[in-house]
Amino acid sequence: EDQVTQSPEALRLQEGESSSLNCSYTVSGLRGLFWYRQDPGKGPEFLFTLYSAGEEKEKERLKATLTKKESFLHITAPKPEDSATYLCAVQTYSGGGADGLTFGKGTHLIIQP
Amino acid sequence: DTGVSQDPRHKITKRGQNVTFRCDPISEHNRLYWYRQTLGQGPEFLTYFQNEAQLEKSRLLSDRFSAERPKGSFSTLEIQRTEQGDSAMYLCASSLDRGYNQPQHFGDGTRLSIL
């Protein structure tokens, strides 16, 4: 069974204090790994797709990287508006929900001014 | 910019009643997904449509749940004889039909509360 584990569960940073969120996965065959941002009372907002080990993608203060067993979301000099829950999800070749995403529980990030 | 639209945003009902939710995907997206999310958890996959065909169902989708997408555009999710455990946020997502790894774009969900 596909598993996605995110750490830490919660993270509190000062504005400007860079850090990384971790997403480790155990799957039978990875098609893609996705990062989403979710604000309270809203649906997940797509950030990045990563396909293969070694791939990196950037958007503003966020950078996502992928290895064969985990992905990192690096946040550089965060601002209070970066506060949200960050979700990691995988899409796999295995049967049963092969087109659906398997999500982790998310990391709740708070950036204090 | 028209994203995924879900209606209603909130639904409060008594246990045992039937409820129906609607999802309007992004207009050019042929794929449509339903997920359920409870507090402190990530979304869990329920079912998936390509055009009007329902291609996958999760084990989470009990017999009380039924989803349709009659003309390959909007979709409905019905829950019959609701139970306390059905209280959750029901999310709809859509994506392009261009092979794998197309990002799924989510609506803001319908929050269901069972009294």
What are the pLDDT digits (tens) for B40-91?
999 999 999 999 999 888 888 889 999 999 988 999 999 999 999 999 999 9
Angle at A69 (CA atoms; ends A32, B94), nearest 5 degrees: 20
Asked whether residue A96 carries a pLDDT value surpassing 80, the answer given is: no
Residue appearing with tokens 């799957």: A27
Task: Calculate mean pLDDT across residues B29-50.
Answer: 95
Asked whether residue A95 carries a pLDDT value surpassing 90, the answer given is: no
A25 contact residues in B (CB cutoff 8 A) = none
Q: Are B71 and B51 a contacting pair, CB within 8 Å? A: no
Output the pLDDT for position B1: 57
Alpha carbons B45 and A1: distance in angstroms, whole number:
14
Confidence bin at B111 (pLDDT 50/70/90): very high
Task: Calculate mean pLDDT across residues A27-45.
Answer: 94
**Helical (H) or strand (E) element with B115:** none
DSSP helix/strand/coil, A82: helix
- Averaged pLDDT score across all residues of chain B: 94
Output the pLDDT for position A94: 62
Number of neighbours of residue B70 by Cβ within 10 angstroms: 9
Task: Please give the DSSP secondary-structure letter assigned to residue A17.
Answer: -
Output the pLDDT for position A98: 53
Q: B101 and A100: CB-CB below 8 Å?
A: no
Q: A32 and B101: CB-CB below 8 Å?
A: yes
More confident residue, A51 or A80: A80
Alpha helices (runs of H) in chain B, residue ranges in sequence order: none
Among A95, A78, A85, A75, smallest CA distance to A6 is for: A85
Asked whether residue A102 carries a pLDDT value surpassing 60, the answer given is: yes
What is the phi/psi pair of residue A98, to 5°?
Answer: -60, -25
Alpha carbons A66 and A112: distance in angstroms, whole number:
28
Among A21, A31, A27, smallest CA distance to B104 is for: A31
Residue appearing with tokens 């997904």: B33
Q: Are A108 and A7 a contacting pair, CB within 8 Å? A: no
Confidence bin at A57 (pLDDT 50/70/90): very high
Confidence bin at A2 (pLDDT 50/70/90): confident
Confidence bin at A90 (pLDDT 50/70/90): very high
Alpha carbons A39 and A113: distance in angstroms, whole number:
18
A51 contact residues in B (CB cutoff 8 A) = 101
Alpha carbons A55 and A52: distance in angstroms, whole number:
6
The nearest CA of chain A is from the CA of B18 a distance in Å of 23
CB neighbour list of residue A37: distance below 8 Å, 6 or more residues apart:
A44, A45, A47, A84, A85, A86, A87
CB-count exposure of residue B29 (10 Å: 0-12, 13-18, 19+): middle
Output the pLDDT for position B72: 85
Q: A103 and B109: CB-CB below 8 Å?
A: no
Asked whether residue B6 carries a pLDDT value surpassing 80, the answer given is: yes
Confidence bin at A36 (pLDDT 50/70/90): very high
The nearest alpha carbon in chain A to B61 belongs to A97
